[in-house]
Structure 1
Amino acid sequence: MSKVKYYYDPDTLSYRKIELKKSRRYRNIFLFILGSALFGFLGLIFLLNTNILNTPRELSLAREVKNYELRFELLNRKLEQIEEVLANIEDRDNNIYRLYFEANPIPEEQRRAGFGGVNRYKSLEGFNNSEMIIATTKRLDVIQKQMVIQSRSLDEITKLAADKEKLLAAIPAIQPVNNENLTRMASGYGWRSDPFTKARKMHWGMDFTAPKGVPIYATGDGTVSRADNRASGYGKHIRIEHGYGYMSLYAHLSNYNVKRGQKVKRGDLIGFIGSTGRSEAPHLHYEVWKDGDRINPINFYYGSLTAEEFENMLKYANQENQSLD
């Protein structure tokens, strides 16, 4: 029941009842409803922008966001570990593997270069955690690029290693006649007395004296390019192309055990000691060629001689005696 209101009338010196007009009453009601609605709207806006009141859905979403933030933190820790491991691999790659195989190291700026041009992270902008998401995505992209570069580098190293292995197998590296079959190491590379003219003449190889028929072995992997007696002075001889600019020659043979075009491995039996061609006695005349020039074979016996045996060979090879061819 609404209260009855009165006012004092000074003319009659009495209290009179206040009679509200209907229009004013309706206006008051309207203003009350409008004020209540406005207050309620402002209160709703306030509540929606604070944590005082959250719906179950909002609470669930807030928990998911916290969970994702934790996962991103754990992911970044793992990324740090991956970066450390990758940095260690890159360091060994540049300072051990590539150095050993004489390959240029990969510059640091090339390994860690970013991605220029179009903003590839534009779709990740505009969110509450955009900065964190973009930073993590950039780290992942850089790591992925580093791994691609490292993978290509290891592919290159693998190829270089295979080539190095082929090179080491191809270089003439053993004595062509076994020590137990040698009578002596007759003559070395250098100026020697010619056995026929007695004049001082350049001797382009090494002479190994042994009985006729003693086996001769290939000193490195390669392909037989010649096995004939059509070269002046060499008699029956064999030439093996090793690749990488190397060629070895075996002269004055009594017989062949290989033919032209045949592939041989280091240590394969290729022929037998003889005295064909311009030769004074049964022996093997052995030469090593590099890029078309004859070089001293004394430097190519590291695969078969001990230090003492090599020292003895060096002493006899340096004697300016008479050669056998």
Structure 2
Amino acid sequence: MAKVKYYYDSENLAYRKIKTKKRKKFGIAILFLVASALFGFLSFVILLNTPYFDTPKDRLLIREIENLKLNYDILNKRMDQVDNVIAAIEDRDNNLYRTYFNTSEIPEEERKSGFADANRYEILEGYDNTQLVLNTTKKVDVLTKELAIQSKSLDYILKLAKEKNKLLAAIPAIQPVRNENLKRMASGFGYRTDPFTKARKMHEGMDFTAKIGTPIFATGDGTVVEANSNASGFGNHVVIRHGYGYETLYAHLSKYNCKAGQRVKRGDIIGFVGSTGRSEGPHLHYEVHKDKRVVNPLNFYYGNISAVEYVAISKLANQENQSLD
């Protein structure tokens, strides 16, 4: 029950009740309600931001975030395993496949490089778990790039493997004159005495002595690019371009069995032994060129002679005697 308040009326010398106006009562009531509502709202906001009063929805979100963190951790561990597998494949690619096919390896910095675009990950910035998501995304991008590079590399290796048979067929791997038709292996690759000037001179091929008319064989698959006597000193000669940097020259022929532009196979007869050009007697002068440099033909006779025959011809080829051209 509200207290009754009085005031003293000096004119009438008596105490009278203080009467509160209805409008004032209504204003006080409204003010009380507004203050109560404001206090309640502030209390609610404070409770929402207090960890001791999580709502069921908050607890669900927290559990989902923790679950996502766990999944990211598992994903990173699996990516580490994938990275180890890729590293093993890259090692075989560089040190086995590419070595076998004599091609350069892919640099490590090219395989492991990220992306130069600085704004690539901008959309991931500004979140509570930005670093976790950012690191995982970068790792996925690097792995994706590594896989793309390795895939292209294996495609290239497969192409080389398909061409390997062509390469093996193109290499000049047999003697141009059969052993049973040889009188002797007159001179090998290296410095020899010139038969005309008697000076010590580089002999860039091998000389095989045989009767005039003895068949001469193409030592590898290729295309005849010369079959003429235009080269000084070689007389009638044939040049075969085998591809992959290989060319062979057959000089001092008595006659041809091929013509320029003709495709030949290893073992095809391309001409016959003679003594044309700068020659001291019937023989075949034979040269092998790799990437436009002369190389020792002795290193290529693995296609039609035995180990014993190779040792014998090697001893003869290494003797510093007089060449026949």
What TM-score does the superposition give when structure 2 sets the normalisation length? 0.69
- Quickly say closer, same or farther: Cα 1:146–1:320, change in 2 above 3 A: closer
Counterpart contact for 1:246–1:289, Cα < 8 Å: yes
8 A contact 1:235–1:252 mirrored in 2: yes
What is the rounded CA distance, in whole Å, between the counterparts of 1:118 and 1:322 in structure 2?
71
Per the TM alignment, residue 135 of structure 1 is displaced from its structure 2 partner at its CA by: 2.2
Residues 98/186 of structure 1: CA separation in 2 closer, same or farther (3 Å cut) = closer
Alignment of 1:230-309 (within 5 A): 236-242=236-242, 246-253=246-253, 255-265=255-265, 267-275=266-274, 277=276, 283-289=283-289, 296-309=296-309
Structure 1 regions of 5+ residues with no counterpart?
8-15
* CA-atom RMSD in angstroms: 4.5
How do 1:81-100 residues align onto structure 2 when only pairs under 5 Å count? 81-96=81-96
Distance 1:128 1:255, change over 3 A: same
Between stretches 38-47 and 99-108, larger displacement belongs to 99-108
Matched to 1:277, the amino acid is: T
Q: Label 1:43 to 1:224 Cα distance change in 2 as closer, same or farther (>3 A).
A: same
The 3 A distance-change label for structure 1 pair 172 and 29 is same
CA distance in 2, matches of 1:81, 1:138: 16
Please say if residues 185 and 317 of structure 1, whose CA atoms lie closer than 8 Å, have aligned partners that are also in contact: no
Secondary structure, counterpart of 1:128 in structure 2:
coil
Question: Counterpart of 1:305 in structure 2: which amino acid?
Answer: I
**Residues 283 and 139 (structure 1 numbering): CA distance in 2 closer, same or farther, change over 3 Å?**
same
Change (3 A) 1:39 1:258: same
* 1:175 Cα deviation from its structure 2 partner: 0.9
Which residue pairs with 2:8 in the alignment?
none
- Using the TM superposition, give the Cα deviation of residue 137 of structure 1 relative to its aligned residue in structure 2, in angstroms: 1.8
The 1-side partners of 2:293 and 2:122 are apart by 64
Contact 1:254 1:275 in 2 (8 A): yes
> How far apart in 2 are the matches of 1:288 and 1:249?
7
Shift of the alpha carbon at 1:287? Answer: 3.3
Distance 1:112 1:254, change over 3 A: closer
Moved more, 87-96 or 73-82: 87-96
Q: What are the within-5 Å matches in structure 2 for residues 105-124 of structure 1? A: 106-108=107-109, 110-116=110-116, 118-124=118-124
Query: Which whole-Å CA distance do the structure 2 matches of 1:205 and 1:160 have between them?
Result: 30
The 8 Å contact of residues 252 and 276 in structure 2, kept in 1 or not, is answered as yes
- Aligned ranges for residues 206-225 of structure 1 at < 5 Å? 206-210=206-210, 214-225=214-225
Instruction: Name the residue aligned to 1:182.
Output: 181
Deviations 1:48-75 (A, max 9, x none): 334635366x666556545544443333
Equivalent residue pairs, number: 311
**Preserved CA contact (<8 Å) 2:240 2:249:** yes
Is the partner of 1:172 in helix, strand or coil?
coil
Q: Say if 1:27 and 1:317 are closer, same or farther in 2 by CA, change over 3 A.
A: closer
Kindly state the Cα deviation for residue 310 of structure 1 after the two structures are TM-superposed.
1.2
More deviation in 254-263 or 279-288? 279-288
Which secondary structure state, in structure 1, belongs to the residue aligned with residue 241 of structure 2? strand
- Contact 1:220-1:242 within 8 A present in 2 as well: yes
Q: What displacement does 1:260 show?
A: 0.9
Residue 11 of structure 2 is matched in structure 1 by none
Please say if 1:54 is aligned against 2:55: yes
Distance in 1, matches of 2:199 and 2:128, equals 93
Larger deviation, residues 115-124 vs 133-142: 115-124
Tell whether the 8 Å contact from 2:192 to 2:322 is kept in structure 1 after alignment. no
Please tell me whether the aligned partners of residues 254 and 275 of structure 2 are also in contact (alpha carbons under 8 angstroms). Answer: yes
1:314–1:50 distance in 2 versus 1, CA, 3 Å:
same
2:74 alignment partner in structure 1: 74
Question: TM-score, structure 1 length as denominator?
Answer: 0.69
CA distance in 1, matches of 2:272, 2:83: 62
Deviation at 1:300, TM superposition (A): 3.2
Which residue does the alignment assign to 2:140? Answer: 140
Structure 2 residue runs without a partner (length 5+): 6-14
In the TM superposition, residue 188 of structure 1 has moved relative to its aligned partner by: 1.5
2:314 aligns with: 314
Please give the alpha-carbon distance, in whole angstroms, between the structure 1 residues aligned to 2:25 and 2:245: 115
Matches of 2:31 and 2:293, distance apart in 1: 114
Aligned equivalents of 1:291, 1:99: Cα separation in 2? 19
Identity, % of aligned positions: 48
